[in-house]
Amino acid sequence: MLVELNGVTKRFKNEIVLNGVDLTIKRGEVIGLLGPNGAGKTTTIRSIMNLIPIDKGSIRLFGQPLKGKSQAIKRRMGMVPQEIVIFEDLSVRENLYFFGKMYGLSGGKLNQRIDEVLDFIGLTDRQNMRPKTFSGGMKRRLNIGCAIVHKPELLIMDEPTVGIDPQSRNHILESVRKLAQHGITVIYTSHYMEEVQELCNRIVIMDKGKVIVEGGSEALMDKLIKKEQMHLEVKKVTPKLIETLSNLPGVKNCLESEGRIEITTEPNTTKLADIIDCAQSSGILAIYRKQPNLEDVFLTLTGKTLRDGED
């Protein structure tokens, strides 16, 4: 077990930000850490990184209790923050050299590792350039390189694909897969649900300072999503058609929205053939089933109300 949080509680003034968080992460896992604003994600990460003290509970990393400065433990971790942390007036290679030295690397070992990281992040041909001229995606790739130059066992990635082009985003996602294949444990936070669903073998959802559910995305959907949706487009929507569809077995709701009929059903109850039979005379233009996804799970658990709180 690489990470163990037991009953972790943290207050800021009179506000409880973490309220008895229990979380375990095994070596080699890619964990998606999700939650609305103010859920406690950032505070959880800062606690694991030993950047803030906790008020109650315990944290163990690599089988050791997290106490004091714990520099030896910190050297085994890497952090890719949401805000890009690189030196824009240093070259790409100089950036990697600086962060490598910070983690205790030196000499030929450091230079060899820099070469490996340059190849990994796809910036070998730009290693002598200064990143102030780079695109946002290139800067984020360098940001990742600086976090992994010392070969961390645990890597925390906080919104690593915000505001970048599709090619750089795809490169970063592929990089996460490769890191996991090399045995690096990754804690990944993102507001892009499709990224988390694609990358992570386990998802942890927090709300109001607690872990409210965890598991694989498919298991969470099977367990939590209690409805399915079908969208039907016909030449002419009539009250009679709406009534007929509403009376089909398993249909919970049927309404017209912008010229399209949205049908909400209980899972695995309403047959597509029955809907086609009912709508045949109205001239079917299109019909499709909306499959539930991780975003549906997230909204089911945390609600749709916009929250502006911060950890």
In a domain? residue 297: no
pLDDT of amino acid 311 = 53
pLDDT of amino acid 218 = 83
Domain boundary at 204, 222, 240, which? Answer: 222
What are 291's two structure tokens? Answer: 């499959």
Q: What is the pTM of this model?
A: 0.82
Rounded to whole angstroms, the Cα distance separating 46 from 98 reads: 23
35, 139: one domain: yes
Element of type H or E holding 264: strand 260-265
In a domain? residue 296: no
In a domain? residue 298: no
In a domain? residue 278: yes
Element of type H or E holding 75: none
157, 213: one domain: yes
In a domain? residue 311: no
Rounded to whole angstroms, the Cα distance separating 248 from 271 reads: 9
In a domain? residue 304: no
Q: What pairing do the DSSP bridges indicate for beta strands 3-12 and 77-80?
A: unpaired
59, 201: one domain: yes
Rounded to whole angstroms, the Cα distance separating 49 from 156 reads: 9
Average pLDDT, consecutive stretches of 10 residues, N- to C-terminus, the chain (311 residues):
95 92 94 92 93 94 84 90 92 97 92 96 95 92 95 94 88 91 93 91 94 89 77 88 89 84 79 84 83 82 65 53
172, 263: one domain: no
In a domain? residue 111: yes
Note down the domain range covering 278: 226-291
131, 14: one domain: yes
51, 14: one domain: yes
pLDDT of amino acid 271 = 76
What CATH number does residue 278 fall under? 3.30.70.100
Name the domain count of the chain.
2
52, 185: one domain: yes
pLDDT of amino acid 307 = 60
Residue-by-residue DSSP string for 109-129: HHHHHHHHHHHHHT-GGGTTS
| Measured torsion, CA atoms of residues 62, 64, 67, 73, in degrees rounded to the nearest 10 | -40
197, 265: one domain: no
What CATH number does residue 25 fall under? 3.40.50.300
pLDDT of amino acid 231 = 85
162, 267: one domain: no
